Structure 1
């Protein structure tokens, strides 16, 4: 008799669990909202979660070496700044300044973009002059307005006087070459660290199938974002960073941004008239936190930036309700860096 009671109890428990599982399944996959599966499918076709995005495999020791270099002020001539000064990982990889002060306190000419997700971009810098984060890492070091290091040899000789660096560079690069502490290896190690700066956002969870991660308002914003044509430049895993585009297709950008200087963009490098006012389309990940916006940091408000982009790039004037909904969606892209990645051990 006791066995029968126990058996029926187990069957009841199993039945209850099955019903609960089915209820959860129905909530996630069989919503009464007809837009749910269609919107998610379209989003998954347009964007990518960070989950399947493989960073270049790098050994732990190289990542740790790159982390040390990223935070080290000795990579500037007078020891006043590090990579983290302009790309502060406590504030989502930026310093929230229009332009950043360098080693001599002189301001740079363009806004410092975030290093989070930067490795996902097709090119680096606003004008795309570096092919990847490894090449990019070395350029500010030699720029007199930024790190102000006089030459590659100057920095290499400085770091060779630090036993810990000599040991770590030998550990990481010793099997590849006899010259382990080189300028190229400095950039390579910093790049290895930056390739780990890819935190997950709620939008990534949504793209991976969890519909509950976006609110109704955010889904409306996502719908508008796609329907209005924003995905022409802001799609893929980074929601941007994939092309060089003219800023001001329908209107001169400076009339709306009220920029103090008219920056020619890519033209300054190529001197081709067809490249005037061309800039890299930035990633929109963490855009809520990486103000001020555009290449010159001329706009503080995310809503204003959305409206300016609609007018300059799409030739549209969006109503306030649409702008607010797009902004709500963009905030779902916010993701803080993993403190285990950025902590200095």
Structure 2
């Protein structure tokens, strides 16, 4: 109940515009960006040279792979939906259960996960040192190829993956014609129904945890934060996902149970908000959500 009180308090305290436009992350190193981009798309990171970061986070698919769960080496299937890499730099934690505190820490996970890339840095680093990567790393890092430098380069590149200039961001910046009247009404419904209590801020989510099935118990094989803390009160608490580019990132929720936005909205209305919702309201919310699609970042437009 205390967590529910905090969510309600947050809702009541939010100002008239609880969402802020995306902005570029400044002061990034261009050489690290170029190196990180190359690593991100290179299957050398996986143990059998078949899987890259881009395999699950595709730039033309909303920053994910549009699968219920992703495939790793040896065609192994994961058990959780791959979140988008777009705008991940603005998440307060990484992974659905928040086990990584930043992009660098996150980058280590898939490389060493036996169901994803199935590799180890002890195996990977000697391979990189025998490749063209040695020259690239030596030109940037005094200590050359190390575990920390690999994830540093990946994180630097990922900080460029910001989808700027969505219609809604342009609207927030003063262009009142950037979205339609129907979309404006959808935004108002989004706020009055309480969706805004979890989906707000610069990333329209990604900045807090919430219980999956807050108002009504919901089936979930994954346990969220409990998997990390082993505290009973953390069961089914997941990082709230960003809604940016949401029309491109189906299927939805941590287990990919829904293919369509309409089904997600109905589910969230009942299980998270205990709200009734009409077909007209759903249609207008979907229209609003489609205004959150931004431009493909410059660093990956050519791919």
Distance in 1 between residues matched to 2:28 and 2:299, nearest whole Å: 14
The number of aligned residues is 289
- SS of the residue corresponding to residue 192 of structure 1 reads helix
Shift of 1:231: 1.0
- Structure 2 unaligned regions, length at least 5: 1-14
- SS of the residue corresponding to residue 60 of structure 2 reads helix
| Residue 161 in structure 1 maps to residue 130 in structure 2 | yes
Q: How does 1:154-303 map to 2 (within 5 A)?
A: 154-162=123-131, 164-174=132-142, 179-200=143-164, 201-254=166-219, 262-303=221-262
> TM-score when scaled to structure 1?
0.81
Q: How does 1:125-140 map to 2 (within 5 A)?
A: 125-140=95-110
> TM-score when scaled to structure 2?
0.92
After superposition, the C-alpha distances for 1:157-184 in whole angstroms (9 at most, x for unaligned) are 111110x21111112222xxxx221111
Distance in 2 between residues matched to 1:64 and 1:273, nearest whole Å: 44
When the two chains are superposed, the root-mean-square deviation of aligned CA atoms in Å is 1.6
- SS of the residue corresponding to residue 288 of structure 1 reads helix
- Structure 1 unaligned regions, length at least 5: 1-41, 255-260
Larger radius of gyration: 1
Alpha-carbon spacing, 1:236–1:331, altered in 2? closer, same or farther (3 Å): same
- SS of the residue corresponding to residue 238 of structure 2 reads strand
Shift of 1:268: 1.8
Shift of 1:336: 3.8
Alpha-carbon spacing, 1:105–1:56, altered in 2? closer, same or farther (3 Å): farther
Alpha-carbon spacing, 1:191–1:56, altered in 2? closer, same or farther (3 Å): farther
- SS of the residue corresponding to residue 321 of structure 1 reads helix
Contact preservation (8 Å) 1:68, 1:344: no
Distance in 1 between residues matched to 2:301 and 2:37, nearest whole Å: 9
| Residue 329 in structure 1 maps to residue 288 in structure 2 | yes
Distance in 1 between residues matched to 2:91 and 2:269, nearest whole Å: 22
Shift of 1:344: 6.7
Distance in 2 between residues matched to 1:166 and 1:90, nearest whole Å: 30
2:40 equivalent in structure 1 = 70
Higher relative contact order (CA 8 A, sep 6+): 2
Contact preservation (8 Å) 1:92, 1:336: no
Distance in 1 between residues matched to 2:152 and 2:73, nearest whole Å: 22
| Residue 47 in structure 1 maps to residue 5 in structure 2 | no
Normalized per residue, the structure richer in helix is 1
